[in-house]
Structure 1
Amino acid sequence: MAETAGAQTLRRGLAILKLLARYQPGGLGVSEISRKLELNKATAVRLTRTLMEEQFVAQDAETRHYRLGPEAFAVGLAAEPNYVLQRLAAPALRSLALETGDWLFFTVRHGLEAICLSRESGDVPYPQASLRVGDRHPLGLGAGGLAILAAMPKEEAETVLTINAAEIVRRYPQLSEGALRKMLEETREQGYSVIPGSLSPGFWGIGVPVLRADGHPVAAIVLVASAIRMGAARQAVIASRLQGVSQNLMLVPSQN
């Protein structure tokens, strides 16, 4: 039976996604995609642009290479066991967002990165530069990535930070490796992370890790609020509430 044009286009688009998955995070240029998949260049350009429009593919502004975009990761993570935790946490995070008026996020660990899976909307203006669903950050960057890193065994965390530090500093030159290590120690001591407007001016983030039964972090819950709403007393209250949600998730039987 002959394949329809629509089925062929879908198959080629999926082939591009599978190919880029093997070349993360550097990605591939359109000529390489065309050659490896035996597509003519015009077809490769058309398909990658369509995938970009749907955010399944992103293009690096400097190298012009294509790599997987946020929607590809969001779809892939939906099949992961940790996605169950996000769905279980959603009602509590939604309730807390309505109660506080702030923004709540659920982020999972994926290798050396943290990926935002969901956002619950508050009733205050949202910072444009802050976290969005599908965003990927090196572990150690942002309230969620820092909370996850701090909850890891120290030797493992040191290895991850050594690998990720250069990328974090590249993205945010105002953060030195020394400052990152200081924030990491503070997070370990207090049991939650606090990002005081260094990534999104005027807004603070508080993050707590979500742990497996063996104590290893697999995710993080983050609240983002304006700086004027984040006095020391409220920080402690918010952190306690987030920790309560996290601990309840630890009590849920494993879905693996």
Structure 2
Amino acid sequence: MNNKNTVEGAQVVARAGQLLKLVARDGGRGARLLDLARAAELPQSTTRRLLKALVEERLLEQSLPGRRYFIGPLAFELGLARHSRPIVTEEFRIMMAGIANQADGAVCLQALVGDDVLCLHRADPDTKPGCNSIRPGDRRPLGGGAGPLAILAKLSNLEIDQTLEKTSSELYFTLESDLRDTYSGITNTRNQGFAVCREMFDRSLTGVGIAFSPQQHPGATLLSISILVDEINEARIETLANLLKRKIKTTNASGFQCLANSDNNFHHNFELHTGPNTGLSN
């Protein structure tokens, strides 16, 4: 195989991987061809050809009514093969369930993966059904919600600029006002020690989130925990933020683990990208 074919083959794989991640960001809504082509900065013909191949391999599936693309069954099957046990420990899941009941809102644990944020676990209060805006396995761009915004604010200014430059062509950051709002949100998050942001796919929900490094992976893994609620005011924002800070500090002080991997290689497994100042804000 000559070098030209090798390079072209690598580009095809990279583009297919990019499309898979973009579809994953849309979660249960499904992604349209036009939006995917714009976000990936590819011609529609190229995008359609790649999507067709991914559908044939069952990595994606396409709905007949709306012609939207969803993550396919093979992606799920491969995930099961990689992880034979839960990513999040039982004790941390119990803690998240307790927060959900105290806050009367959904609680999400998310991790930084490349330029995206991946939902690892969600806990819902006993009093109401879970929200449909974000589920385990869903991806969000950095800044796309309270948890992703909290993580974004932990990165250096240079990393933030580089990240937003990459995502500015995507559907959710194409408007100049969105970028201004994102930078303003970063400043506010750093000043107050927590992020407050409307949920990306359900504007009726507001999230309060904090980024932190788990006790067993100091400086290696950047996570966020956020609470999504449908009724919010300044007093409740402060209450929810203090609840999260208190629970995370208690978790780190007690020494129990957040992530269920004893081999200490979560950073390698999930290709996590971290920046400086990854400790919990006071």
What TM-score bracket applies, with the shorter chain setting the length?
0.5 to 0.7
Alpha carbons of structure 1 residues 71 and 182: separation in structure 2 relative to 1, 3 Å: farther
One-letter code of the match for 2:189? Answer: T
Q: How does 1:72-87 map to 2 (within 5 A)?
A: 75=80, 78=83, 83-84=87-88, 87=90
Deviation at 1:185, TM superposition (A): 1.2
Provide closer, same or farther for how the CA distance between residues 73 and 165 of structure 1 changes in structure 2, counting only shifts above 3 A: farther
Residues 211 and 250 of structure 1 are in contact (CA less than 8 Å); yes or no, is this contact kept in structure 2? no
Answer 1 or 2: higher relative contact order, Cα 8 Å, separation at least 6: 2
Q: Distance in 2 between matches of 1:117 and 1:209?
A: 14
Q: Secondary structure at the match of 2:16?
A: coil
User: Given the two structures, how large is their TM-score scaled by the length of structure 1?
Assistant: 0.66
Deviation of 1:30 after TM superposition, in Å, equals 6.8
Q: Which residue of 1 aligns with 2:224?
A: 220
Length-normalised TM-score, structure 2? 0.61
Deviations 1:108-161 (A, max 9, x none): 111111111111112235444x21221111112111111111112222222222
Number of the residue aligned with 1:159: 162
Taking a change above 3 Å as real, the CA distance of residues 32 and 66 of structure 1, as seen in their structure-2 partners, is: farther
**Equivalent in 169, 186, 195 of residue 172 of structure 2:** 169
Q: Is 1:148 the equivalent of 2:151?
A: yes
Within 5 A, what are the aligned runs for 1:110-121?
110-121=113-124
Change (3 A) 1:157 1:74: farther
Q: Distance in 2 between matches of 1:246 and 1:72?
A: 33
- Paired residues in the alignment total 214
Alpha-carbon distance between aligned partners in 1 of 2:166 and 2:195, rounded to the nearest angstrom: 20
CA separation in 2, counterparts of 1:148 and 1:31?
Answer: 34
Contact 2:198-2:205 within 8 A present in 1 as well: yes
| Residues 180/108 of structure 1: CA separation in 2 closer, same or farther (3 Å cut) | same
Distance 1:165 1:190, change over 3 A: farther
- CA deviations 1:48-76 (Å, max 9, x no partner) are 2xxxxxxx645599998886777468648
**Secondary structure of the corresponding residue to residue 179 of structure 1:** helix
Gaps of 5+ in 1: 1-18, 34-43, 49-55
Let me know the Cα RMSD of the aligned residues.
3.9
Unpaired segments ≥5 residues, structure 2: 1-11, 21-48, 265-282
- Find 1:207's aligned residue among 203, 206, 209: 209
The residue that corresponds to 1:247 in the other structure is: 249
- Report the AA paired with residue 201 of structure 1: R
Tell me the equivalent position of 2:16: 23
How far residue 79 of structure 1 moved from its aligned partner, in angstroms, is: 7.4
Equivalent residue for 1:134, pick from 111, 134, 137: 137
Q: How many angstroms apart in 1 are the aligned matches of 2:148 and 2:137?
A: 14
Counterpart residue type for residue 180 of structure 1: T
Q: Are the equivalent residues in 1 in contact too, given 2:145–2:199 (CA < 8 A)?
A: no
Residue 247 to residue 132, structure 1, CA distance change in 2 (3 Å): same
Separation in 1, partners of 2:157, 2:51: 41
Retained in 2: the 8 A contact 1:74–1:117?
no
Q: C-alpha displacement at 1:208, in angstroms?
A: 0.7
* Closer, same or farther: CA 134–72 of 1 in aligned 2, 3 Å: farther
**Which residue, 83, 88, 92 being the options, matches 1:89?**
92
